[in-house]
A and B are shown apart, each in its own frame.
Chain A
Amino acid sequence: MRQHILLIEDEPNIVEAITFILLRDGWQVDAHSDGATAMVAIRDTKPDAIILDVMLPNKSGFDILGELRADPKTSDLPVMILTARGQTKDRERAMDLGADAFMTKPFSNSEVLEGIHALVGHK
């Protein structure tokens, strides 16, 4: 069975790009553009990893990450943080909150794939 990645990102073109490269690499991808609905999806589908943008409408990526880590059911779910602000402060904050990987936009496709492989492992 294909490994399942949940992508939470509100910029449609970036969603399209990441979805494309992940599908081609053999992953199953679900995309959400809103923080609130994404939380519901995570609880329902139990993805193998999450790619999470920071600047989201309604609920920031950091908020989502904090909630995930606070819930024992999702506390060890692998999370990769994406951000376009690219400041060290954001990186520190992401790591403090328990992110497993951190990627600054713009990224190269191969970086994202390598990161996902490292997170999920070669099951």
Chain B
Amino acid sequence: MLSFDVLIVASVAYVIVLFAVAFLAERASDRGGAKWMRSPIIYTLSLSVYCTAWTFYGAVGFAARSGLEFVTIYLGPTGVLIGWWLILRRLVRIGRAERITSIADLISSRFGKSALLGGIVTVLAVVGTTPYIALQLQSVTLSLSVFAAADPTAVIRTSPNSTALWVAVGLAVFTIIFGTRNLDSSERHSGVVMAIAVEAVVKLLALLAVGAFVVWGLAGGVGNMLAMIDTSPIAEWSVPNSRWIGLTFLSAAAFLCLPRMFHVLVVENSDESHLLTASWAFPLYLLLMSLFVVPIAVVGLNMLPEGANPDLFVLTLPITQGQNGLAVLAFLGGFSSATSMVIVAAIALSTMVSNHLVAPVWLRSTGEGATVSGDLRNVVLMSRRVTIAVILGLGYLYYRLSGGGAALAAMGLISFAGVAQVLPAMLGGIYWRGATRIGAAAGFVVGFTLWAYTMLLPSVGVGTILSASVLEQGLMGWHWLRPRALFGIDGLDPVIHAVFWSLLFNTGAFVAGSILSTPSPLERMQASQFITALDQGGISRSWKHGVAEAEDLLLMAQRILGATEAQRLFRAHAVEQGKSGYLPTPTPTFLEGLERALSGSVGSATAHAMIGQMVGGASVSVEDLMAVADETAQIMEYSNRLEAKSEELTNTADQLRDANLKLVQLSHQKDAFLSQISHELRTPMTSIRSFSEILQDNALSPSDRVKYATIISGETQRLTRLLDDLLDLSVLENGQVTLDIETGTLAQVLDRAMTAADFGGALEIKRPRNADTILLTTDLERLGQVMINLISNTRKYCVNKRPVLKIRARLSGPDVELDFIDNGEGVPSTHRQMIFEKFARISDEAKAGSAGLGLAICREIMTNLGGSIEYLPGQGGAAFRLRLPQNP
């Protein structure tokens, strides 16, 4: 009989070897060498943390109890890996892009960096993993007891609790030393991964060795073995389809959602292409692990006494056959399975607890100003160590509560179902843009509650938490709330029952919550990041020529950088491209420059995403981005309060810049004005010069001579008028005009104006009847000038055959209102703004016979008189309203 001490020595020696492997691997990786450590094979082997003591010991027990059903536990992960491009690739891509550290981080990050969701998933994961840890404790305790007991085949029902406690303490210390030696922001542990890979090989070899021994050493070859299997009761087990489908689905879900699996699959993944290798290599590994399960179970059932624990066949078969070496190897294989699971699970969970429970609380309690300092670092490390101890403590507690007698596989399935509650939110999060934080939280709470009620609580034993009456009669005596027959649906397999209801309601609550709630801008942003993770290609970050409108980009940039800065940036790029204005062509160079500028304010990922959305025209709307931009602006405003001083300086600089801009505009206006004047002067001069040259010809007839001399004279007068008008306008505009204030009646002013406007011909003027009664104290001469202009405009532009100009006068408070309305076609609405501008003429030049300064002068005069002139719409013909104070 093998001495128990030898076993302890072997275990300790094995652990020391593992430490050495981990230590050397970590050192090699720190030095940047040993590329093979990041090879796809190591990655694949690290995935074997899926194969725990449950697989090593429990699969045989599972097979002995339920036939081929154990295969379902391997089918799920196999399916996930073969379809790696469907979910895993997306997860890995997202994990890389968003620097995801755990499954809680994934969920939190996807739903707008929600601290609440991170916390929920963490609690869920810790509780869900507890039975699983208990399973490992139980298997190690059991296997030790096998060696310790005098008769190794004796039924081990009540295992020594002290052994389990020591195992728990030992594993806790082991994990703390292994997993929390240092902090790395990427949460990658090359040493641990290496040790896990070694353990993967050890457990595979151990199981293969036991299997080979059983087939060739005990059964007498493959042929005999097959015959034995044929006659054994295992072959007759038939598994209900619902359980096949249910368990396969459950194991697939657990493979994705178990914190430790997520950790090795996503967080420790250093290269996406490793998935390709793992997609065939890991199913192969699982196949090898399960190859001898049925033979061992069959031979165990045949050779060992009735009632021997089938979970321990792997160990008891070699021992009863006196194969001590093989027994030790088998023990180490089981030990490897248990320890690797506990280490990775505890590391993953402690990361989640410290990041999503401890750190937020600690930061809140120490005030908002805290940064990631040495303090926090210590808090995080300490919290991780404590968490690991607590997790193993919980596992031990569960082990004690459940009595340590449950089948390993049954305990594992409880965990699977628990962590599977994360699945709807996880899949929804990476595939469904409409999934929201509220929906995810609702799904978690509902699913988790149902799982705990239907599966976890009943499992820890009747009377511990749930009383027998609740189990039999339902909660508060409501029959339809019986934990194992919800809604009165009886007769379902308990596992399927729990999984079905919890996931159904979980998904329902998730979908309903998502549809009914509105995601915040940050959530929408993250949703878009996650859902388009594959489209972004991950690596190529350079911009192709996009379809973004420069104006849209400017609008966005102004919200983030502030208007002045954004305009400066755009203008600089426009100038560089040889364009005027603020809108450069969105070339790749410009987009990269803009991205750099934006990333200074909102971070590079957001900047890239924002421009990506605008350039790529992806389905996040511009409005969404604007909302994000506004939010960012608010945050920036908050943090910028300290920079109030520099703000003032910036404002001053802005004002100077604005003033400069105005000067530039004025200069442009001046250029346009001079160009106009040039035209107005040159036109009459052209006629004058041309006809003067013609007059030099002696051969002209006398009548031609008179005609051309008359034209020259007319054009000269036109020039004089223009110069007069310009000077007048200049005086009026500069406010240098001296007003000659007199008092007189409106009738007097009108008489003078009508005479001066050379009233005659066809135009009929209807004077206001009250003209005699209205007394005005103002510059009557200037007011008359305005009236002359209005009358002569009517003469020029009124197209009616019988043109009529109606003048109305009315007192309005202290003001006098004078309307001049003709019966022509009026001024089109598009021109009404510009007719008062200098050189504005809407009909052709020849007909006007003037330079288009009339109304501009009128406006200046009215302003100088303290009144106004406006176009009066809706009067049929052209209509102008003068308004001026009756007394100054």
Residues of A within 8 A of B (CB): 10-14, 16-18, 20-21, 33, 55, 57, 84-87, 104-110
Residues in B whose Cβ lies below 8 Å from that of A20: 694
For residue A17, which residue of chain B has the nearest CB?
A: B690
CB of B648 within 8 A of chain A? no
Tell me if A12 and B693 are in contact (CB < 8 A): no
- Tell me the bound Cα distance from A105 to B679 in angstroms: 9
CB of B845 within 8 A of chain A? yes
**Residue from the set A11, A13, A57, A104 with the largest chain B CB neighbour count within 10 Å:** A13
CB of B691 within 8 A of chain A? yes
**Residue from the set B686, B689, B715 with the largest chain A CB neighbour count within 10 Å:** B686
Which of B677-701 touch A at CB < 8 Å? 678-679, 682-691, 693-694
- Can you list 8 residue pairs at the A/B interface with Cβ under 8 Å? A16-B687, A17-B687, A33-B844, A87-B678, A105-B683, A105-B685, A105-B686, A108-B689
Residues of B within 8 A of A (CB): 675, 678-679, 682-691, 693-694, 711, 714-715, 843-846
Tell me if B683 and A84 are in contact (CB < 8 A): yes
Cβ 8 A contact of B686, one of A12, A57, A106, A110: A106
Cβ 8 A contact of A106, one of B682, B845, B846: B682
- Tell me the bound Cα distance from A104 to B715 in angstroms: 18
Residues in B whose Cβ lies below 8 Å from that of A33: 844, 846
8 further contact pairs, Cβ within 8 A, besides A20-B694, A106-B686: A13-B714, A16-B687, A17-B687, A17-B690, A55-B679, A106-B688, A109-B693, A109-B694
Tell me if A106 and B844 are in contact (CB < 8 A): no
Residues in B whose Cβ lies below 8 Å from that of A106: 682, 685-686, 688-690
B337 to chain A, nearest CB (A): 83
Tell me if B687 and A11 are in contact (CB < 8 A): yes
Residues in B whose Cβ lies below 8 Å from that of A17: 686-687, 690-691, 694
Residues in A whose Cβ lies below 8 Å from that of B715: 13
Tell me if B846 and A85 are in contact (CB < 8 A): no
For residue A107, which residue of chain B has the nearest CB?
A: B686
Tell me if A13 and B682 are in contact (CB < 8 A): no
Tell me if A12 and B689 are in contact (CB < 8 A): no
- Tell me the bound Cα distance from A57 to B678 in angstroms: 18
Tell me if A108 and B693 are in contact (CB < 8 A): yes
Residues in A whose Cβ lies below 8 Å from that of B684: 13
- Tell me the bound Cα distance from A14 to B684 in angstroms: 8
B690 to chain A, nearest CB (A): 4
Residues in B whose Cβ lies below 8 Å from that of A109: 690, 693-694
Tell me if B682 and A105 are in contact (CB < 8 A): yes
- Tell me the bound Cα distance from A60 to B689 in angstroms: 24
A96 to chain B, nearest CB (A): 16
- Tell me the bound Cα distance from A18 to B689 in angstroms: 11
Cβ 8 A contact of B690, one of A10, A21, A55, A87: A21
A76 to chain B, nearest CB (A): 28
A101 to chain B, nearest CB (A): 16
Q: Nearest 5 A-B pairs (CB), nearest first?
A: A17-B690, A13-B687, A84-B682, A105-B686, A106-B686
Tell me if B685 and A85 are in contact (CB < 8 A): no
Tell me if A14 and B686 are in contact (CB < 8 A): yes
- Tell me the bound Cα distance from A104 to B678 in angstroms: 11
- Tell me the bound Cα distance from A10 to B846 in angstroms: 7
Tell me if A10 and B694 are in contact (CB < 8 A): no
Tell me if B675 and A13 are in contact (CB < 8 A): no
For residue B685, which residue of chain A has the nearest CB?
A: A106
- Tell me the bound Cα distance from A21 to B682 in angstroms: 19
A20 to chain B, nearest CB (A): 6
Tell me if B693 and A84 are in contact (CB < 8 A): no
- Tell me the bound Cα distance from A39 to B313 in angstroms: 104
- Tell me the bound Cα distance from A16 to B712 in angstroms: 12
- Tell me the bound Cα distance from A17 to B846 in angstroms: 15
Residues in B whose Cβ lies below 8 Å from that of A13: 684, 687, 691, 711, 714-715
Tell me if A11 and B690 are in contact (CB < 8 A): no
- Tell me the bound Cα distance from A20 to B694 in angstroms: 9
- Tell me the bound Cα distance from A17 to B697 in angstroms: 13
Tell me if B689 and A107 are in contact (CB < 8 A): yes
For residue A112, which residue of chain B has the nearest CB?
A: B690
Residues in A whose Cβ lies below 8 Å from that of B690: 14, 17-18, 21, 106-107, 109
Residues in B whose Cβ lies below 8 Å from that of A105: 682-683, 685-686
Residues in B whose Cβ lies below 8 Å from that of A110: 693
Residues in A whose Cβ lies below 8 Å from that of B686: 11, 14, 17, 84, 105-107
B694 to chain A, nearest CB (A): 6
Residues in A whose Cβ lies below 8 Å from that of B683: 11, 14, 84, 105
- Tell me the bound Cα distance from A26 to B688 in angstroms: 23
For residue A104, which residue of chain B has the nearest CB?
A: B682
Residues in A whose Cβ lies below 8 Å from that of B682: 84-86, 104-106
- Tell me the bound Cα distance from A105 to B690 in angstroms: 10
Tell me if B678 and A86 are in contact (CB < 8 A): yes
For residue A82, which residue of chain B has the nearest CB?
A: B686
Known: A14-B683, A107-B689. A21 touches B694 (CB 8 A): yes
For residue A86, which residue of chain B has the nearest CB?
A: B678
A26 to chain B, nearest CB (A): 15
**Residue from the set B679, B690, B844 with the largest chain A CB neighbour count within 10 Å:** B690
- Tell me the bound Cα distance from A11 to B850 in angstroms: 12
Residues in B whose Cβ lies below 8 Å from that of A108: 689, 693
For residue B690, which residue of chain A has the nearest CB?
A: A17
